[in-house]
């Protein structure tokens, strides 16, 4: 059994497990998040669902950036949770930690870039996109996870600092298939959500802080390319905002359209 399979089955007593997940596997789709949102809104699915696509033609990252994926090159995964976004406002951080924990089993040097990116050696490896909406069956939150498995076609959503892929760290025979990776990620997300619900939000903050790609770095805060202010990255606060110690004092950055960049 592979390391990833062991991880996926490591907690058979978890309140939410893969046994509760209805899997939908597609050869190609516009966006796994959009596909799953439509399925819930049209009443075609209910409960806990996961969509895995081997090719994605109109995927989305944060701020509407495109995330296209060729067959086998990326993980294109969305998980539908029957919860409202406000029930777990720190879900993107929680999911980021869950995905990082999976990758750490392969010794990938993953770090988390607030609010929803995964980095390896300061290059973008993947991202998380959480979207909530109401349906006839109640509130639903769809969690999208994208990861670059092979460095074939770098998605726009991974542009900027450059992109990394799992193939940078693992020899070809050890690379997981998208399905193996998806099963481990879903299992880890469910276990992390349960742990956070039991231990409280402090556990999320602690796990994120251990992997914070920026902590104690000199950063600048930008809004659509315009620098707003700069200072030392101090980590997240209990409201989920990112703190920057500027020459005028501590400033809190909320996700919105703002982005943090390490100062050149």
What's the CATH number where 80 sits?
3.30.930.10
CATH number at residue 234: 2.30.30.100
Are 80 and 155 contained in the same domain?
A: yes
pLDDT of residue 101: 97
Residue 218 main-chain phi, psi, to 5 deg = -85, 120
How many domains is the chain partitioned into structurally?
Answer: 2
Are 150 and 253 contained in the same domain?
A: no
Are 155 and 240 contained in the same domain?
A: no
pTM: 0.85
Are 241 and 194 contained in the same domain?
A: no
Are 118 and 150 contained in the same domain?
A: yes
Are 126 and 253 contained in the same domain?
A: no
Q: What is the pLDDT of residues 38-77, one digit of tens each?
A: 999 999 999 999 999 998 886 655 545 555 556 678 899 9
Please give the residue range of the domain that contains residue 255. Answer: 218-262
Are 18 and 123 contained in the same domain?
A: yes
Are 81 and 99 contained in the same domain?
A: yes
Are 100 and 222 contained in the same domain?
A: no
Are 14 and 67 contained in the same domain?
A: yes
SS3 readout for the chain: CCHHHHHHCCCCCCCCCHHHCEEEEECCECCHHHHHHHHHHCCCCCCCEEEEECCEEEEECHHHCEEEECCCCEEEEEEEECCCHHHCCCHHHHHHHHHHHHHHCCCCCEEEECCCEEEECCEEEEEEEEEEEEECCEEEEEEEEEEECCCCCCCHHHCCCCECCHHHCCCHHHCCCHHHHHHHHHHHHHHHHHHHHHHCHHHHHHHHHHCECCCCCEEEEEECCEEEEEEEEEEECCCCCEEEEECCEEEEECCCCEEEEECC
Are 200 and 108 contained in the same domain?
A: yes
Q: What is the pLDDT of residues 177-212, one digit of tens each?
A: 999 999 999 999 999 998 888 888 888 899 999 999
Are 72 and 171 contained in the same domain?
A: yes
> Would you say residue 28 has pLDDT above 70?
yes
């Amino acid at each position: 059994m592979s390391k990833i399979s062991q991880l996926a089955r490591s907690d058979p007593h978890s309140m939410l497990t893969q046994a509760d997940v209805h899997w939908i596997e597609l050869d190609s789709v516009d966006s796994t998040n959009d596909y799953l949102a439509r399925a819930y809104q049209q009443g075609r699915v209910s409960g806990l669902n996961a969509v895995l696509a081997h090719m994605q033609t109109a995927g989305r990252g944060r701020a509407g950036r495109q995330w296209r994926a060729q067959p086998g090159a990326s993980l294109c995964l969305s998980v539908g949770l029957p919860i409202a976004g406000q029930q777990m406002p720190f879900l993107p951080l929680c999911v980021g930690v869950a995905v990082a924990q999976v990758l750490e089993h392969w010794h990938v040097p993953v770090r988390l870039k607030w609010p929803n990116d995964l980095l390896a050696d300061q290059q973008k490896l993947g991202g998380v996109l959480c979207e909530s909406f109401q349906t006839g069956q109640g509130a639903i939150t769809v969690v999208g996870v994208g990861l670059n498995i092979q460095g074939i076609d770098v998605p726009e959503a991974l542009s900027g600092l450059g992109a990394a892929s799992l193939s940078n760290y693992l020899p070809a025979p050890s690379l997981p298939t998208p399905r193996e990776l998806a099963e481990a990620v879903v299992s880890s997300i469910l276990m992390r959500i349960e742990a956070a619900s039991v231990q409280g939000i402090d556990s999320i903050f602690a796990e994120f802080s251990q992997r914070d790609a920026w902590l104690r770095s000199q950063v600048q805060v930008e809004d659509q390319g315009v620098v707003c202010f700069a200072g030392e990255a101090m980590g997240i606060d209990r409201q989920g905002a990112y703190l920057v110690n500027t020459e005028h004092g501590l400033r809190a950055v909320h996700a919105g359209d703002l982005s943090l960049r390490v100062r050149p």
